A and B are shown apart, each in its own frame.
Chain A
Amino acid sequence: MISLTDLGIIRDVAWQDDTLIVTVTPTYSGCPATSIINLDIETALRGHGIEKIELKRQLSPAWTTDWLTEGGKRKLEAFGIAPPQPAGGPDHCPHCGSKSIEKISQFGSTPCKATWRCKDCLEPFDYFKCI
């Protein structure tokens, strides 16, 4: 699955004396995953033997889908989520590749996604919104 660095939300990692400062930016201000993400970061770092960790929230510059890595976009598509496009809508159906698609709702299962549908294979799919 997609990693936090793929998502582009880890803005900085730096040592301050013996404390590791990880700077994280939220995708959406109300994203319910934020606390889980922070917990995951701490757990992962502790698993690597790092004991003193400080998580810093940085709002500006605000997160943009431009920070998604190419690898991250590929992983999204492989998972059935159409990656963000500069044009503002998905390029094609992530299931069958058809370009014949339509928007169902500007929002999807999470704030970062919108709901679309393929008119060929008739499958609905999530589109990762471009912000």
Chain B
Amino acid sequence: MSTAVTSGDDALFEFLCRMGDSTLVLGHRVSEWCGHAPVLEEDIALANTALDLIGQTQLWLGLAGEVEGKGRDADKLAFLRDGWDFRSALLTEVPNGDFGRTLMRQFLFDAWHSIYLGRLLKSSDKRVADIAEKASKEVSYHLERSADTVVALGDGTEESHARMADALAYLWPYVGELFAGDAVDAAMVEAGVAPDPASLREEYDALVGRILEEATLALPEGRFAHKGGRDGRMHTEHLGHILTQMQWLQRAYPGCTW
């Protein structure tokens, strides 16, 4: 096997971890609402969204383990890696805050997710395209709901509008990372596996701008971006806390099942 092929598989593994870790961490965050949402219907909706995201994680990390070829399955990757090996986007790691911030984060992620998965449908790697086909159906539904809720709360009461404006201001600096490409992205573009993240920005801003306008909120102008999640260079201080909660059972009782 040539070195080029090996490094191609390494980049593919990284790419798959980025997909799977973002859905895993966001799925965990959203599941934190289970039993705490403002009304029962929202509680159910959040739990179902989390379930979809965890399901997608199983597919992405399952394939990552297969590509890596070292006998690690989705569970091992999710529960037995340390923080520095995670490739989750920082946006998925930030605390839930209030219900409005959770739904604003969901909307900002869903908008990116739906556009990105749309491109992955044409991936040169059929395994990637198959997962994208499955996930994109779920994600278009997530986007419909999170966008509706952002509009309802943004264009709601004075209180809900102010909270959504705060949420947007807090979350916006975490959006840019989703569009910052690096060597892994370049390798994926080269192989026809995934699109260049930067090429999606215009479509994203148009989609998000349209919904925010409906929500009587302004698309922030700033382009400052916190980075370091997708490449694992510097995660938020929140990731470690998420992992202690998510992984403690497998750490304390290795291999435990029920």
Chain A interface (Cβ within 8 Å of chain B)? Answer: 26, 28-32, 59-63, 104-111, 115, 129, 131
Contact = CB atoms under 8 A, between A and B. Distances in A.
A29 B44 contact: no
Contacts of B129: 60
Given A29-B138, A62-B133, A131-B141, A115 B41 contact: yes
Given A28-B55, A30-B53, A111 B48 contact: yes
B133 A61 contact: yes
B241 interface: no
Q: Which 4 A-B pairs have the closest CB atoms?
A: A30-B55, A29-B55, A105-B41, A107-B45
* Interface residues of chain A: helix, strand, loop or mixed (majority): loop
9 contacts: A26-B134, A28-B52, A30-B53, A59-B131, A60-B129, A104-B41, A105-B42, A106-B144, A107-B145
Interface residues on B, range: 20 to 34
Given A30-B56, A106-B141, 10 more contacts: A26-B55, A28-B52, A29-B55, A29-B59, A59-B131, A60-B129, A60-B134, A105-B42, A108-B44, A109-B44
Interface in B47-69: 48-49, 51-56, 58-59
A93 B42 CA distance: 22
Nearest to A31: B55
A106 B41 CA distance: 8
A109 B43 CA distance: 11
A66 to B, nearest CB: 12
Contacts of B59: 29, 59
Contact of B130 (A60, A129, A131): A60
A106 B51 CA distance: 15
Nearest to B149: A106
Contacts of B41: 104-105, 107, 115
Interface in B99-124: none
Contacts of B145: 106-107
Contacts of B53: 30
Contacts of B175: none
Interface string B18-57: 0000000000000000000000011011001101111110
Nearest to A32: B51
B137 interface: yes
Q: Which of A106, A108, A110 has the most CB of B within 10 A?
A: A106
B239 interface: no
A129 B45 CA distance: 13
B17 interface: no
Contact of B137 (A105, A109, A131): A131
Contacts of B126: 60
A62 B136 CA distance: 10
